[in-house]
Structure formats: C-alpha cells, structure tokens
A and B are shown apart, each in its own frame.
Chain A
Amino acid sequence: MAASSDAVGAVIGLGLVGAALTGAAVVVPVVLGPALAALGGAYVALLLIDEPPLDTRAAGVATALVVVGELVGWARELAGPTRDEPGNAWRRPVWIAGMGMGALGLAWGVLAVADLARVQGLAIEAVGAVAALAALLVARRGLAPPGA
C-alpha cells in the first residue's frame, strides 16, 4: 500500500514538475525538452504502476505531448514582436489541432501494429476503422458530380 502511494506521488510529482517546466519553456525555450520528458516520465511511472498488457492511453499521451510542444511554440511566437496579417491568426490553432490528430492516428497505428503482433485485438479494430474510412471516401467520390 505504501509502495503504491509512493508511486502515485511520483506520478503526481513528475506531472507537476512537467507542468512547471512547460510554463517556464515559454520564456526559456531550452526547458521544453525536459518539460516534455517530465510529462512523459509521469506516464511511464503510471505505466509501471498499472502494468496493463497494452495501454491504449499512450496514443492520447502522444497527442497531448505534441499539442503541448506546439502550444509552447505558438505562445513564444505570440510573445514576439511580429504580428500576423489580419485573417491569418486562425491558421496556427487549426494547424496545431491537425498535428494533434495526426499524432493520435500515428500513435494509434503503432499500437495497432504492436497489438497485431500480440493478440490481433486492437489491430482488427484499426483495420475496421481504415476500411470504414475508405468506404466513406469511395462513397464521396461516387456521389460527386462528373468532372468535379
């Protein structure tokens, strides 16, 4: 029981250190690496406590880390003297959201491949999702007017 509470304390401690370093990274960019490492370390500690066969939360963690890194970069840009042209300011948050989605898909894909090698459970779901996406694309193409 005591060992478990120590581990939870380590997770919370690493998470707090990561959060503090992330805030500091806006001012001191060199700290971004340690900040992301601390946040990732908190997840590793959690993984060691739970010891699941395959933790699908990893995709979410990867997404969160990418989004945190990009948000820090954006915050630094906003703190600089350069201002975007009117009408262009919305592009960065959209781009960050897109990168988060991409990171989610990639991490999910890696997990699916690993799962395929292990029990084929998650991989089948991933294949099903890809098939559904392909079906949607085909249907869209079929419904599109000729010459479009």
Chain B
Amino acid sequence: MKRAGDARLGAYAVLAAAALVTALALRRTELAAIAAPFALLVALGVRAQPPRLRAWFELDRERALEGDVLDATVTVRSDQAVDRVEVGLALPDGVELAEGRNPVALRLSAGEERELPLRLRCVRWSSVEIGEVWLRTRDQIGLVRFEGRIDRRRPLKIYPTAERLRILVSPAHTQAATGSEVARLRAEGLEFADTRPFVPGDRVRTINWRATARRGSLVVNERHPERNADVVVFLDSFAEARTSDEGTLEQAVRTAATVASRYLERRDRVGLVAFGGILRWLEPGGGLVQQYRLVDALLETGVEFSYAWKDVDVIPARTLPPRALVVAVTPLLDERSIGALLDLRGRGHDLVVLEISPEPFLEPGRDRSDLAALRLWRLQRAELRARFERLGAAVATLDDEITMEEALEGVRAYRRHARLVQR
C-alpha cells in the first residue's frame, strides 16, 4: 500500500521544531511543554505500519440492459484490527450507484471479513470493466495514510435498450430465402398479387373460381411470396456532437441496435459497417447469435479521431451484398461519411439515411453574426438532405421531438412516392 503523510503530520512536525527552537532561543520551558505532545504524535505517526487488507468484488451478471440494476458485493478482510478503513468501488462511465454506500468507512477487528452490498444502475450502453476497489486506511493517530488499489475487474456489457418500433422500411429487393417481407415478384405466397389465365402446369388450388365463372375461362391467382432481405446498418462514427453526458453517437448506437434487432426479428439477414476512424464490419447474418454479435460490435464503437481519408472502397465487398438495403445512421457531420454514402447510392445500393440531428447538442451564440451562421449551417444541412433525396435516398431526421417510428413513416412515404416516379 502507498504511504502518504496527512497535512497534520507536516504541520505538527514544523510546530514541534519551531516551538523547541523558540524555547531554546527565549529560554522558556513552556514552549518545550507545548512542543512535547506534537513531537510525540509525529514520532508515533512515523513508526506506523500498514495493515494487511484484502478485498474481493462480485457482480451478479456480466450482461445487462440500459436501466437495469445490478447487485454487487465488495468484501473486505483485514488481518489486523483497523480503526477506520475507507472502501470504495471505482464506477466506470455508464454505471452509477443506485443503493448502498460508496465509498464507506469501516471499522474492522483482527481477522474480520465484511461484505458491502451495493446496487448499481446501468445508465448508458457501454462495454466496461468494473471491480477496481480502492482502500484507504490510516495509522491509529491518523497522521499517516495508507492507500491501495485492488484490481478485481471483470467485464460488464450494457446493451442499449431497443426503442418501440412497429414499422420498418421495406427493402426494394428481397433475397431467395423465406422471411417476412412481401416480395414484389410473383410466386407461391400468401399475399394476393393479381390474376392471369390458366396455363398448363398451374396447380388446381390456384384457380380463382369466381373470376373463372365470370370470364368463362380458367383464371388463376398470383401471389407475392414472403422473402427475407439483406440489411446493412451503416454506422457513422467519424464525428459526433455531444454535451457532457450525451451525444449523437449514443443515440446513433441506440438507433442502430433498434433497427438491427427489428430486422433480425423478421428473419432478415443483418450486417454492420461502423465507418469511422476505425473500420469495423460484420457480414450479414441472421438469428440470435448474429444479434449478440451486432450489439457487441456496436458497444465497441467509439469516435476515433483520424485524418485518414476513407471511402467505400475500404469496406470489404462481402459486407455490402449487391441487393442489400443500407440503413445509414449518421449525424451527417463528416465529409468522409457523407461522401461514402453518396458513393454507395451512386453504385446503386438501396439507401436510407437516418440522420441523428446534432442540433440538440449545440449551444449557438446570441449575437446576430452567430444566429446568421446558424441559419447558414441549417441551410447547408437542408441542401445536403435534398441532395440525398434527389439521388433517391430517403432522409429521416431523428431528434428529441420526433420518434423513430414517425421518422420511418416519412421514409416509407417517400419511398412509395419514389417508386411511382421510377415507373
């Protein structure tokens, strides 16, 4: 344990020395009497030895959702009697104390073991390590402190809570496997598509008897099959706008996790491209395992500062299947990610942009020039959105005033309109 003198140790030593010197200079015994208790305290403090302390940390689980409360226990044991030992658990970002005392001062007798129950609330999604216990004790007089840290860290993954989302953006193209998306092509399925004259080889069960009776010749029903789709969540982590406790990246990860989990529930294959200072990717896949993989990859995402210019060429080709729907979650702040998205659209990818608005995190100035600059900045962003829309990529802006569901409804409406224009 690290040894450190309290401020009183130095003060008492200085006072004792000064009083003794003054006693000699003035030939006054009284000052020696004043110096005596301080000199004795300093002598006792200097001789103090650190006690032998041990600590352990236990956590009831290693995975949690935002808002969950975890049970943790810090156990402290001392081989010698300690009058006062301060015990604290270092809490990482995203975890706060919900119940219990942290730090707390304990009195331990020789060989005593004490358990400190704590309840910890997971405030923000993150992948952290928790369990660094710090101990601080002092000698009997309190003039010398002994401090130490005991590393009992273990990983804790806090997953973002998925927002309520009933509708999703339908991809323009579907894949061959069965899923929940009604495909545009006509084949075996549930959804009625159209009728056509009977041709040899058609099943009898597909005959539409009412239409047949009306037309006088055999007519069969055509249906849309239910297929799955490939969806790639494109998370822009080049830049973010943030205040001290919240930023666009937090919202972006939450949005990406929500979108990915909803598409996976529909049996679609979902992949991830975290496009930023560090490029992370996950090839499209389906199922619960893929969901855990995706969320784990999202938790690792952070804004890594980089000057390197990156474009879509750095993304592995298999990560972006040709007929995949690309859902980009971005604050539209960095030219590199904007350029990459425009490039993706230019290469024919079905693109939807979910813009995490940086405006709630801005504190614009109040003078006229600042307000003019803000208006110009807003105009530039509006022009950028219009540019995406001119290329056929819908842009939905997510902020405090609009829910994801409302934003996606706007995207769906735009895409219906865009299809009509294409025809």
Chain A residues close to B by CB (< 8 Å): 25, 29-30, 32-33, 35-37, 40, 43-44, 47-48, 54-55, 57-59, 61-63, 65-66, 69-70, 72-73, 76, 81-85, 88, 91, 99, 102-103, 106-111, 114
Contacts and interface: CB of A to CB of B under 8 A. Distances in A.
B107 interface: yes
On chain B, which size bracket covers the interface?
A: 35 or more
Contacts of B14: 33, 37
Interface in B270-305: none
Contacts of B10: 33
Contacts of A35: 11
B7 interface: yes
Interface in B64-115: 83-84, 86, 88, 101, 103-107
A40 B19 contact: yes
B26 interface: yes
Contacts of A25: 7
B103 A85 contact: no
A58 B142 contact: no
B30 A58 contact: yes
A29 B5 CA distance: 12
A82 B103 contact: yes
Which of B6, B11, B19, B28 has most A Cβ within 10 Å? B11
Contact of B31 (A33, A58, A66): A58
Contacts of A59: 33
B18 interface: yes
Contacts of B22: 44
A32 to B, nearest CB: 4
Contacts of B36: 62, 106-107, 109-110
A18 B22 CA distance: 18
A39 to B, nearest CB: 9
> Taking chain B's interface residues, is the majority helix, strand, or loop, or is none over half, making it mixed?
helix
A79 B103 CA distance: 13
A5 to B, nearest CB: 22
B165 interface: no
B33 A91 contact: no
Contacts of A36: 11-12, 15
Contact of B26 (A33, A44, A57, A108): A44
Nearest to A43: B34
Contact of A69 (B12, B19, B31, B101): B12
A111 B41 CA distance: 18
Nearest to B103: A82
Interface in B368-411: none
B234 interface: no
B322 interface: no
Which of B22, B34, B38 has most A Cβ within 10 Å? B34
B104 A73 contact: no
28 contacts: A33-B10, A33-B11, A33-B14, A37-B18, A40-B15, A44-B22, A44-B28, A47-B26, A55-B30, A57-B30, A62-B36, A66-B37, A69-B8, A69-B11, A72-B8, A73-B6, A83-B104, A84-B105, A85-B107, A88-B105, A88-B106, A107-B33, A107-B36, A107-B37, A110-B29, A110-B36, A111-B29, A111-B30
Interface of B: 6-8, 10-12, 14-15, 18-19, 22, 26, 28-34, 36-38, 40-41, 83-84, 86, 88, 101, 103-107, 141-142
A61 B7 CA distance: 21
Contact of B105 (A30, A70, A82, A99): A82
Given A44-B22, A106-B40, A85 B106 contact: yes
A91 B37 contact: no
Contact of A91 (B11, B32, B107): B107
A95 to B, nearest CB: 8
B16 to A, nearest CB: 10
A110 B38 CA distance: 13
Contact of A40 (B34, B40, B103, B106): B34
Contacts of B12: 36, 69
Contacts of A81: 103
Contact of B142 (A43, A73, A110, A111): A73
B362 to A, nearest CB: 34
Contacts of A109: 36
Contacts of A30: 7
Which of A43, A47, A69, A76 has most B Cβ within 10 Å? A69
A85 B104 contact: yes
Given A32-B7, A35-B11, A111-B29, 11 more contacts: A32-B11, A36-B12, A37-B18, A44-B22, A44-B31, A58-B30, A59-B33, A73-B6, A85-B104, A88-B105, A103-B37
B188 to A, nearest CB: 68
Contact of B15 (A33, A88, A107): A33
Contacts of A99: 41, 141
